Structure 1
């Protein structure tokens, strides 16, 4: 009998331990980078306009709007994974998918790669695969739940995409080990 998430309290009754949730550890750093890039762009545009003598309130408002637009484009989604679920919180809300009931996992190529997860209820989440590469606990939880979905027979499309992400994570891990041990 497995009691993985159980603990005993003072009277000896069995209590459920809080569910472990893995978060994107680089999210705050990426958010600060987005803010910095937007602020630098705004400062440079205002400085260039001021030096040229063409700075006016409407132009300053235009530069502020441009910097805000850049921030919106660069702002990272916050990814969290728990047992049986994955959520991605962006500027426009939170999307959540049941990872233990996945139907498909696809990789979308383009300027920025995206991993699209869809569950049996039709919920859909898009995340950057780099989030999984840089956060092994996120990948481990997702991989475990995806395997559970495959065993249940609900995951009909996505084995190749998951294998590619797994190979990329293994490659990045090996490169990190080589760099740390100075064998690159």
Structure 2
């Protein structure tokens, strides 16, 4: 419970300190495994596929990584996913995160707007899920701060895939 409270406090930090980063303190493999294990424990009804990643270099800090991965996984579940596939890897000088789900997906016209602050997908002019519309905004802000990019593919009733690529030395 203490880790979850700390995670929530860290998640809100980018709203107050958008210029401050702890980029010189990279997240460790053990921290990544603990974040994913905590998430799996909190969602026992979700099937998880997570690649083995013990030899990769992770060039971002714990707060940024947690904000990215937890927001993407929470959104997947919020929008109907029962199966999540998480991949973390490096390729040359690129750090990559992929979160793929089997949720309800989204229309192509929604994708350009999902990273806007307070934007939430509506159905029949009603918000069907809880949230403030800040999660993907924060993810995009963090990825941009690390000179990375996000690619989103989605198909209605099939699912959504987020690919994040962050360059590193």
TM norm structure 2: 0.24
Greater helix content: 1
Give the structure with higher Rg (CA): 1
Q: Which of 1 and 2 has higher RCO (CA within 8 Å, sep 6+)?
A: 2
TM norm structure 1: 0.22
